[in-house]
Structure 1
Amino acid sequence: MKKWMWWGCAALAVVNLSACDPQKDAVDAEKTVVSDFESGTDDWSGDFAEYSTQQDDIMEFKLERASLPAALDASKKAMKIEGHNRSDDMFMYLKRKVTGLDPSRTYKVTFEIDLGTDYPANSVGIGGSPGSSVYLKAGASPNEPVKKLVDDFYTVTIDKGQQAVGGKEMIVIGDVSNGVEDFVYKLVKRTNSETPVSVKPNANGEIWLCVGTDSGFEGKSTLYYDKIKAVIK
């Protein structure tokens, strides 16, 4: 009897040690990405999609790390992105790789985005409102979102849905309206805290975060990503 009791205790000790394996805890730990762009791009890059090759020279795309507008705080930096939606359906996006995740697990991702915008919700523009017809989306994928040319039209590989409708990998978390009735720059916060995005990492334990705007407004949009926070757990 004493012999069996000893083996039982030894087995229990092995189970407890396994449960406290520090390497396993490392890949299972919650990861948080917070980028405020004060000292650099923090590994965020971006691109543009959903337009034809014939429109290459007229979309007025620009992506750069720049100062916030003076009406906000010109001493602070942000990721500035802009384009002129001459294709009726322009997608402008940022992306960032996250490593060190467990390939066997599915993660939930929530975002908080501080966005500099000067477009009122009730404003009128060609094709739609420059505020409420430009949809902000956020999500994640095991594969890098890249621009892809299909029959002279640039698409993007992440499943983002179409304008006001989200996709399997990106969801709509709001629009780019500034919350007031005038064309003045405001910082607005958008989040999907109540509707996290599910993602399973690739075999290397990697996912790609992606945020962007899907535009139904057929004019020029200029936006400032002041801060992007993503919690992965």
Structure 2
Amino acid sequence: MQGLLDGNRTALATLLAAASLLLAACSSSQNDSGRQVVTLDFTAADAPDASGWEAGFADYSPEQEEIMEFASGHEPLPGKLSGEGHGLMVGATNRSDDVFMYWTGPVQGLAPETSYEARFRVEFATDSPAGCAGIGGAPGESVWVKTGMTTRQPEPVLVEEHWRMNIDKGNQSAGGKDAIIIGNVANEGSGCNVGERVWELKTVESDGAFILNTDSDGVAWVTVGTDSGFEGRTELFYTRIVATLEPR
């Protein structure tokens, strides 16, 4: 009997731990009006919110892949931010003149078949300088941050010999139906020379509302990424995302 009780306790503890992890991976609050706030924090080394998130790249040809120097991972913050946690790192050298690099992950628990107005706040680490000239465009102001939510899982698809997104994220300085521009990657502490760059945290927010129409499952994919006109290397570490959704 004691063995059976011990086994039940172990099974219950395992179930509770799994439930806690699932809830943490989709941090969300809701009030009586149906307003929901989804808060995602990637700063812990074992951040549950990073579970299920994937990095990706688009707007380049398969022949260019070897020279784009793609990189991604859940990694410690660099430079003077070392010791302040982790972030979803993504990097590329923009030899296609148009690279889109992003992270995306699922959010569960939204009301099914509901139209929401969504507003976003994104925090990330960047060493890209402000007010500097660059090849094709500025290394800071010509790398636009975009975010959105879709019921369709975002991913690259091969279209006319180029990898393109299967969602409408717009192109470079223009947003699309499935992603809007909320800022750029320029920081205030970096100089224009490579040796003068420093890592800083930056927060950008959406000005207008983004419209999300959920499906019968109440699941949506959050995407955050950059559309680049700067023909050089950009690396970012996304640390936190907050999406506030109001039923329409």
TM-score (norm 2): 0.78
Identity of aligned residues (%): 36
Equivalent of 1:229 in 216, 239, 242: 242
In structure 2, the residue matched to 1:121 is 130
Is residue 2:233 matched to residue 1:220? yes
CA distance in 2, matches of 1:198, 1:184: 36
SS at match of 2:63: helix
Determine the structure 1 residue equivalent to 2:3.
none
Q: Does structure 2 retain, via aligned residues, the 8 Å contact 1:120–1:131?
A: yes
- What letter is aligned with 1:201? T
Equivalent residue for 1:190?
204
Other-structure match for 1:33:
39
How far does residue 202 in structure 1 lie from its aligned partner after superposition?
1.9
**1:81-122 deviations in whole A, cap 9, x for unaligned?**
100111010000111111222233101222211111111121
How much does 1:169 deviate?
1.3
After superposition, residues 94-109 of structure 1 pair within 5 angstroms as: 94-109=103-118
What is the CA-CA distance between 1:180 and the residue it aligns to? Answer: 3.6
Name the CA distance, whole Å, in 2 between partners of 1:232 and 1:59: 36
Contact 1:145 1:158 in 2 (8 A): yes
SS in 2 for 1:55: helix
TM-score by length of 1: 0.83
Q: Deviations over 1:136-183 (max 9, x none)?
A: 001111111111011220000111111011111111101000024522
Computing the radius of gyration over CA atoms, which structure comes out larger, 1 or 2?
1
Kept after mapping to 1: 8 A contact 2:154/2:221:
yes
CA separation in 1, counterparts of 2:175 and 2:157? Answer: 19
Residues 181, 35 of structure 1: alpha-carbon distance in 2 compared, 3 angstrom cutoff: closer
- Aligned partner (choices 142, 145, 155) of residue 146 of structure 1: 155
What's the counterpart of residue 119 of structure 2? Answer: 110
How far the C-alpha of 1:74 sits from its partner, in A, is 3.0
State whether residues 167 and 178 of structure 2, in contact with CA within 8 Å, keep that contact through their aligned partners in structure 1. Answer: yes
Match for residue 54 of structure 1? 63
CA contact (8 A) 1:50 1:153 kept: yes
Q: Secondary structure at the match of 2:110?
A: coil
Check whether the contact 2:123–2:238 (CA below 8 A) recurs between aligned residues.
yes
Once the two structures are TM-superposed, the CA of residue 75 in structure 1 deviates from its matched residue by 4.3
Letter in 2 for 1:150: V
Q: Distance in 2 between matches of 1:206 and 1:173?
A: 23
Counterparts in 2 of 1:82 and 1:117: CA distance versus 1, 3 Å: same
Q: Between 62-71 and 99-108, report the one with greater CA deviation.
A: 99-108
CA contact (8 A) 2:114 2:215 kept: no
Give CA-to-partner distance per residue, 1:54-102, whole Å, 9 cap, x none: 1011110011011111312334111111001110100001111112222
Give the count of matched residue pairs.
208
Output one character per residue of 1:32-67: Cα deviation in whole Å (capped at 9) or x when no partner: 232233123243212000000110111100110111
SS at match of 1:56: helix
Supply the RMSD in Å over aligned alpha carbons: 1.9
Tell me if structure 1 keeps the 8 A contact 2:37–2:242: no
Give 5+ residue unaligned stretches, structure 2.
1-30, 192-196
User: What are the ranges of 5 or more consecutive residues in structure 1 without an aligned counterpart?
Assistant: 1-24
